Amino acid sequence: MTANLVGDVTMRYADLPPGEPAGAVPVLLLHGFGTDFGMNWSAAGWPQALGGAGLRVLGPDLRGHGASDKPLDEASYLPERFTADLLGLLDELAVDRVDLVGYSMGSRLAWDLALTAPDRVRRAALGGFGPVNAFADADLSAPGAGDTPFDQVFRTVAGLPGNDADALAACARGQAARPFTEDPKPVGVPLLLVSGARDTLATGAEDLAVRCGGTHVEIPGRDHANAVSSRVFKQAVVDFLVG
């Protein structure tokens, strides 16, 4: 399904009913940089895990990704533009409140949404995310040209089918223009942080969870690329949302 939410970008999204309706709030899944709902979540079995727990799944392709529009100016990718998209999607679907599950960039956007509209968020699970600067030492005028962790991620995703490297570069610059800061913190939104033991991009996740009054789960042996498919991750999120 698609929706034109803010006038300049059309968003593609999935709206998947649960296997057995449980009356819980829907789960909004926010994928990482350079992926989309299908790559990040469907391929890793998340709709089945959440639907089997009685949860409705909302899965957008974020602007610049998947089958959604891909503007080429970096101002289109400021975090507040993503927040406006997501709130517009909830309004379009007449959904008052959601649980958030993000991965990597999607976790940063989940944090921003919980901070901006805490009344629309019941709980938030943030995977592959910590307080470190994901763009540290990267030359964003030529992303992928260096050897930083972000450069390595950019080279991996830029050539994936359906991706537009210029749009992804603009997305990186737009995100970097608003560096993550943990203060202020979301108020009244319980947080779960999940990270692979080998995920350098999520360094500090456990300490961030402590400072936020949240909980942290570490996935043994997993790194940034493969933690999202872990059964430990999925079970931790299901327990957090419905336990």
User: Alpha carbon of 56 to those of 8, 43, 160, 220: distances in Å?
Assistant: 28, 17, 28, 29
The arithmetic mean of pLDDT across residues 206-228, rounded, is 97
Whether 196 and 222 have beta carbons less than 8 Å apart is answered as yes
Name 196's Cβ contacts closer than 8 Å, sequence gap at least 6: 128, 202, 218, 219, 221, 222, 223, 224, 226, 227, 230
* CA 108/CA 178 separation, integer angstroms: 11
Question: What is the residue range of 44's domain?
Answer: 2-242
Residue 1 pLDDT: 60
The pLDDT, as a whole number, for residue 22 is: 65
Strand 98-103 with 57-60, pairing = unpaired
Q: Write down the pLDDT at residue 9.
A: 86
Q: What percent of the chain has pLDDT over 70?
A: 96
Q: Is the peptide bond before 184 cis (omega within 30 degrees of 0)?
A: yes
| pLDDT of res. 80 | 95
Total tally of structural domains belonging to the chain? 1
Please give the full DSSP string across 57-122, using - where no structure is assigned.
Answer: EEEE--TTSTTS----SGGGGSHHHHHHHHHHHHHHTT---EEEEEETHHHHHHHHHHHH-GGGEE
Residue 56, domain CATH: 3.40.50.1820
Indicate if the pLDDT at residue 7 is higher than 90: no
Structure tokens at 27: 């789960």
Mean pLDDT to the nearest integer, 172-196 = 96
Q: Residue 152: exposed, middle, or buried by beta-carbon count in 10 A (0-12, 13-18, 19+)?
A: middle
Mean pLDDT over each residue of the chain, to the nearest integer: 94
Digit-coded pLDDT (tens) for 52-67: 999 999 999 999 999 9
Model confidence at 182, in pLDDT bands (50, 70, 90)? very high
- Map residue 196 onto helix, strand or coil: strand
How many residues appear in the chain?
A: 243
Query: Cα separation of 161 and 15, whole Å?
Result: 23
pLDDT digits (tens, 9 = 90+) for 8-66: 789 999 999 987 766 789 999 999 999 999 999 999 999 999 999 999 999 999 999 99
More confident residue, 1 or 236: 236
Tokens of 104: 């990597």
**Residue 2 confidence class, pLDDT cut points 50, 70, 90:** low
Q: Report d(CA 27, CA 192) in Å as an integer.
A: 14
Residues ≥6 apart with Cβ < 8 Å to 236: 125, 192, 194, 217
pLDDT one-digit tens code per residue, 224-240 = 999 999 999 999 999 99
Burial readout 125-138 (b: 16 or more C-beta within 10 A, e: otherwise): bbbbbbebebbeeb
pLDDT digits (tens, 9 = 90+) for 65-121: 999 999 999 999 999 999 999 999 999 999 999 999 999 999 999 999 999 999 999
Q: Residue 107's closest CA among 39, 3, 26, 208?
A: 208
Q: Are 112 and 28 in contact (CB under 8 A)?
A: no
Give the closest residue to 83 by CA, choosing from 57, 56, 109: 109
Mean pLDDT over residues 187-205, rounded? Answer: 96
